[in-house]
């Protein structure tokens, strides 16, 4: 079990949203109005989700983000505090509303999401420089694509200069990302849909997934970890390809499962586990998350996990996955 003196240190630069979740008999077609069965208001945003997941496992987590000077923003700050996330650099602005995600969830747990970025779009390169100390104090920096790309690139470049490992979750996927983003990423971690959008390649089979991942390696990524839903995850490096399966579960709500995986992966890598073991444990935690409704509320805390998932961790300066 990890003790407070050896807490993995993680910084997340990214989005923070309020999730407006509607449960529907099926996902709506264009132009269609459906009557939902129930509604939930939760806290989300890929960056916030990943930060909360790492904090729930026991990590020392700092968030760099921007929220609106509104009720949603105040509530998001309160939620971070409740979850144990450092909010020194979660900044507030009166120039935009807080980010909002409208989520429809079908009976099979699949979802459709519309995001209005709001204040997330106002996170700047200057904000990243102001957060230099918390980024440099982390073992791993996590970024996504829900804040301006130039801001994400600034964070990744700063992390590289400060010898901090980086994980990039390229979501929502953009087909023409600059190679600089890949070159600054120790690990690129997309899901199946994102991989197809990034590469133009199908990932229906493991062989196809490997070929697509190798395209991302050629663009400069140090390693690629593909999340494959019920098929687990796939590690692809210049030297090897390894599939890490996951035990089957009956999903209730898949919203945020990828974020549960990324936050857990960062935590376990910062806790000095090998990448294969970190992926195995992140698979298990993501699988647990889909068995409950909601986003962050579905993420298991350390106390909810089998002890075996938190055993054998020892914090180290650079961990077992070397900087490329």
The residues carrying an active-site annotation are 259
**CA angle, residues 318, 322, 324, in degrees to nearest 5:** 125
d(CA 225, CA 243): 10
236-239 contacts at long range (C-beta below 8 A, 24 or more positions apart):
236/209, 236/210
What is the token pair recorded at 172?
A: 């929502």
Phi, then psi, of 241 in degrees rounded to 5: -130, 125
d(CA 203, CA 165): 27
What is the token pair recorded at 276?
A: 């294969």
C-alpha distance from residue 212 to each of 136, 144, 197, 226 (Å): 32, 19, 10, 10
Per-residue DSSP letters for 293-323? SSSGGGSPPGGGS-GGGGTT----SS-SS--
C-alpha distance from residue 71 to each of 92, 123, 196 (Å): 11, 19, 37
Phi, then psi, of 296 in degrees rounded to 5: -60, -35
Tokens 């995001």 belong to residue: 115
Taking residue 140's Cβ as centre, other Cβ atoms within 10 Å add up to: 25
Secondary structure (3-state) at 3: coil
The answer to whether 249 and 263 are in contact (CB under 8 A) is no
Angle, helices 275-289/257-270, rounded to nearest 10 degrees = 150
Q: Sign (positive/negative) of CA torsion 166, 167, 173, 176? A: positive
């Amino acid at each position: 079990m990890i003790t407070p003196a050896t807490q993995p240190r993680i910084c997340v630069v990214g989005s923070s949203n309020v999730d407006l979740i509607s449960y529907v008999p099926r996902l709506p077609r264009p132009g269609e109005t459906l009557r939902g069965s129930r509604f939930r208001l939760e806290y989300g945003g890929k960056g916030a989700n990943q930060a909360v997941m790492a904090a729930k496992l026991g990590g020392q987590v700092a968030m760099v983000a921007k929220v609106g000077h509104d009720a949603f923003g105040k509530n998001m700050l309160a939620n971070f505090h409740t979850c144990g996330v450092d909010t020194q650099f979660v900044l507030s602005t009166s120039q935009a509303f807080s980010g909002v995600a409208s989520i429809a969830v079908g009976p099979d747990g699949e979802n459709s999401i519309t995001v209005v970025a709001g204040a997330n779009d106002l996170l700047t390169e200057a904000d990243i420089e102001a957060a230099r100390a918390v980024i440099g104090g982390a073992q791993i920096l996590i970024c996504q694509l829900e804040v301006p790309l130039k801001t994400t690139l600034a964070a990744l470049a700063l992390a590289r200069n400060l010898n901090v490992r980086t994980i990039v979750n390229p979501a929502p996927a953009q087909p023409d990302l600059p190679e600089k983003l890949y070159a600054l990423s120790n690990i690129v971690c997309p899901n199946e849909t994102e991989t197809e959008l990034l590469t133009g390649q199908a990932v229906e089979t493991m062989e196809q997934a490997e070929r697509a991942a190798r395209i991302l390696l050629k663009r400069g990524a140090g390693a690629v970890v593909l999340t494959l839903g019920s098929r687990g995850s796939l590690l692809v490096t210049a030297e090897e390809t390894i599939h890490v399966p996951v035990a089957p579960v009956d999903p209730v709500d898949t919203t945020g499962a990828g974020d549960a995986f990324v936050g857990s992966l960062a935590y376990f890598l910062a806790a000095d586990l090998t990448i294969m073991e970190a992926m195995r444990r992140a698979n298990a935690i993501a699988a647990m998350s889909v068995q409950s409704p909601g986003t962050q509320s579905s993420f298991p805390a350390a106390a909810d996990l089998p002890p075996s998932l938190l055993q054998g961790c020892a914090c180290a300066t650079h961990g077992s996955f070397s900087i490329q």
